[in-house]
Structure 1
Amino acid sequence: MYHDMELLYCVKAQHSGYKKQEERMKKLLLVLMIALIASTTLFAQAAAESVDTFPDKPVTALIGWSAGGGADIVFRAIAEVFPKYANGQPLVIQNQGAAAGVPAITEFMKAEPTGYNVLHWNVAHVIKTHMTKTAFTATEFEPVLQVVASYNYLVVNANAKWNTLAEFVADAKANPETIALGNAGTGGGNHMASLLFEQATGTSYIHVPFSGGGPAITGLMSGQCDAVMANAPEGIANVQAGQLKVLGVFSDKALDSIPAKTGVDQGVDLVLEQWRGVVVPKGTPPAIVAKLESIFKQCIEDPAYIKKMQELGSIPTYKNGADYGKLVAFDDARYEKIVKDGGFGDKYTK
């Protein structure tokens, strides 16, 4: 009997101990849950405050083309209004135009995904990934938005012997590989435009690559080439100054800012549209990407930017990150086929 009572007492004591331990565990879990909720709330508030104050230092825009080219002109126009929408912080333009921007873009792959490093991205870079082997793909980076669209055109010195696209093509057919046709860099968009122009007209040229659209225009004016396949706004200021003339613009309709008939109107069935946009490293926080999109969207909707682009033959064009990403992917597939079918470059021919 004594042993039974002792056993019962031990069981009750043990049960009581378990109950107290259970209560302590419940209290501990409650404290942990409260702490977790509090820390999550604080983290969310800190993140929101971080986005609200972004940027709190200069943002650097890397451009894989030389100063004075189309990319440079467009992004400097954005930089002029950028502080108005970016907490007063500037957009610092960094030009690295060697080898059609490939070394610069390769280096950009190492950039921290903080939102303070952005990259100019255009169809020329997409084409380059198919013309030759590169460390990056066309869809390597996170798309932020498209900022402009433009068309290629053929430009020559004002005193050149050709006054129309038809005259230029006729001369090229009669004298193959004697006309030196400049472009912004081997394997880039303007080089591809030149190759497609050759294909569409049955002509052939001496292709002269430069380190960007600006240097190509300078080369034309200094006699290093006879003509340049350019992309707005390259050389338009020189056209307006009477130093150069445009023989034809490869758009689907005439443009008020470019004094020339379209290629289609002159018997060349060719439309060459290019786009420019902003991308950032993969892994950049979505909230920061969204903030950058908002800032750049306000920049390209600014009257000063719109006026500048219209004066220079470019069309301010907004596509959000998702739609811009689809455009990049579409042109990636499109130019892969064009390069393969045309036997251009060396990536698919070796």
Structure 2
Amino acid sequence: MACARAHALKRFRQTGTGVPTTQGDDMIRKFFPSPAWARAIALSALAMVAGTGWAQSYPSKAVTLVVPSLAGGAVDVAARTIQPRLAQELGVPVVIDNRTGAGGQIGNTFVAKASPDGYTVLMNAGSTLFSGVYRKLDYNPGDLIPVAMVATAGFLLVVPADSPFKTMQDLIAYGKAHPDKLNYASTGTGNSSHVGSEMFKMLSGVQANHVPYRGSSPALVDLVAGRVDFMLDNKASSLEHVKAGRLRALGSTPRRVPELPDVPAISEVLPDFHIEGWMGIFLPKGTPPAVVERLSAAFRATQSDPAITSRLSGQVGQGVLMQGEELRRFIAQDQQRLRRVVEHANIRAD
């Protein structure tokens, strides 16, 4: 009998089958009531071990930071600003890959379809991912998970220095009284400059024609020359022209800027107006949580460096750090706000 009980107990421990009958065996049954429960414990233990393994071994080689824009653009400048400190935090080289084309979608697609191992990371303007201006994509935006926001960029509403419009109210009054007589420049169809200008039109009642350019530089050349009437441009590229007297700033967003204390925020005239360029870090869906946390910690350390945030603020707008639930809420609100404008103006970039 004792031999039979011992054999049954051994089989139970090994396979989860058999029914122990002694008091000691009842204790085993108390803590391991079913084979399924025992398997669940084993799987949880394996997951913990695997997660610990990822955390301990990652990264073991260079990390590629994909930037879907040309060298010298705002996102590229921000990436190269954080690159050295990020490499220091990770303990491996960080290689920037400028994978351009299709308004950033080639780079986005490349990362979305990359192996979810933490070695291929996307840095891009968040608005290009979530505004809905691209209807035909080779990936699902949900295939990219946000890790961190690292920088924001404000905009200025600018007109030529000799423009008759001295205030936003002047521009709005003329645009409403003379439909389609105004022409506005943007840095490209579907980007924040375009969507923001359409938001301005939607909220103010102004009617104006869109003239897209390939970047700020050619657009600003024509604006300074008076060939277009106004533009919502990145503060980093237009502020120098305002300071030099070549352009006049009528408003700023998302708030007043310290360099132009007398220029009102656009929301002071149009309370529902809010658009803010932001740059984020994204990983392919399915990246192990331990890897996501390792990268998150590296970006927290990088963005806590005053020298990094100071350089970002001077070059692209403002160095920031937003992660976790706060970032998810921001993205949801930003997406809702932008898509409302995109649908109203029927903006399509593909």
For the aligned pair, the TM-score class normalised by the smaller chain equals 0.7 to 0.9
2:303 aligned partner, one-letter code: I
**Against the structure 1 CA distance between its residues 318 and 269, is the aligned structure 2 distance closer, same or farther, given a 3 Å change threshold?**
same
Which residue does 2:65 correspond to in 1?
60
Pick closer, same or farther for the CA change 1:20–1:154 going to 2, 3 Å. Answer: closer
Aligned residues of 1:236 and 1:313 also touching (Cα < 8 A): no
Q: Per-residue CA shift, 1:223-267, capped at 9, x if unaligned?
A: 775543223434335545655443321334x22145661244874
Q: Given that residues 185 and 228 in structure 2 are in contact (C-alpha distance below 8 angstroms), is that contact kept between their aligned partners in structure 1? A: yes
Pair 1:56–1:326, CA change in 2 (3 A): same
Structure 2 residue identity aligned to 1:204: Q
1:141 aligns with 2:167: no
Q: In the alignment, what sits opposite 2:24?
A: none
**Kept in 1: contact 2:155–2:253 (CA 8 A):** yes
For 2:299 and 2:245, locate their aligned partners in 1 and report how far apart those are by CA, in whole Å. Answer: 33
Q: Does 1:320 align with 2:323?
A: yes
TM, length-normalised to structure 2: 0.73
Over aligned residues, Cα RMSD in angstroms?
4.1
How many residue pairs are counted as aligned between the two chains?
Answer: 324
Q: 1:318 to 1:299 in 2, by over 3 A?
A: same
Provide the residue aligned with 1:255 in structure 2: 257
Q: 2:118 aligns with which of 98, 115, 119?
A: 115
Aligned to 2:79: 75
Q: Does the 8 A contact of 2:118 with 2:287 survive in 1?
A: yes
Q: 1:88/1:213 Cα in 2 relative to 1: closer, same or farther (>3 Å)? A: farther
After alignment, is 299-308 or 329-338 more displaced? Answer: 329-338
Name the CA distance, whole Å, in 1 between partners of 2:74 and 2:307: 17
| SS of alignment partner, residue 317 of structure 1 | strand
Counterparts of 2:231 and 2:263 in 1: how far apart (Å)? 17
Give the match's secondary structure for 2:232: strand
2:210 to 203, 207, 216: 207
In the superposition, the TM-score normalised over structure 1's length comes to: 0.73
Q: 1:49 — aligned with what?
A: 56
Match of 1:256, SS state, is coil
Letter in 1 for 2:64: V
Give the match's secondary structure for 1:149: strand
1:84 and 2:114 are equivalent in the alignment: no
Q: In structure 1, how many angstroms separate the alpha carbons of the residues matched to 2:67 and 2:267?
A: 38
Q: Partner amino acid for 1:292?
A: L
Question: Cα 1:19–1:308, aligned 2, differ >3 Å: closer, same or farther?
Answer: closer
Secondary structure in 2 matching 1:283 = coil
Structure 1 or 2, whichever has the larger Rg, is 1
1:99–1:186 contact (8 Å) kept in structure 2: no
Q: CA deviation at 1:192?
A: 1.3
Distance 1:265 1:192, change over 3 A: closer
For 1:61, give the aligned amino acid.
V
Which residue matches 1:310?
313
Q: What secondary structure does 2:287 align onto?
A: coil
Corresponding position: 1:154 with 2:138: no
1:27-68 Cα shifts (integer Å, max 9, x gaps): 988xxxxxx9x99998566434213xx2631432323x4444
Take 2:248 and 2:99, find their aligned partners in 1: how far apart are those partners?
27
Q: CA contact under 8 A between 1:68 and 1:214: conserved in structure 2? A: no
- Cα pair 1:176 1:204 within 8 Å, conserved: yes
1:283 positional shift: 0.8
**Equivalent pair of 2:146/2:281 in contact (CA under 8 Å):** yes
- In structure 2, the gaps of 5 or more residues are 16-42
Change (3 A) 1:285 1:228: same
What amino acid does structure 2 have at the position aligned with 1:87? G
Give the drift of 1:147.
1.5
Q: Any idea what SS the aligned residue of 2:143 has?
A: coil
Q: CA deviation at 1:174?
A: 5.4
Quote the Cα distance in structure 1 between the aligned partners of 2:254 and 2:51. Answer: 48
Separation in 2 of the partners of 1:23 and 1:200?
A: 76
Cα distance in 2 between the residues matched to 1:86 and 1:185: 35
Unaligned 5+ segments in structure 1 are 1-11, 30-35
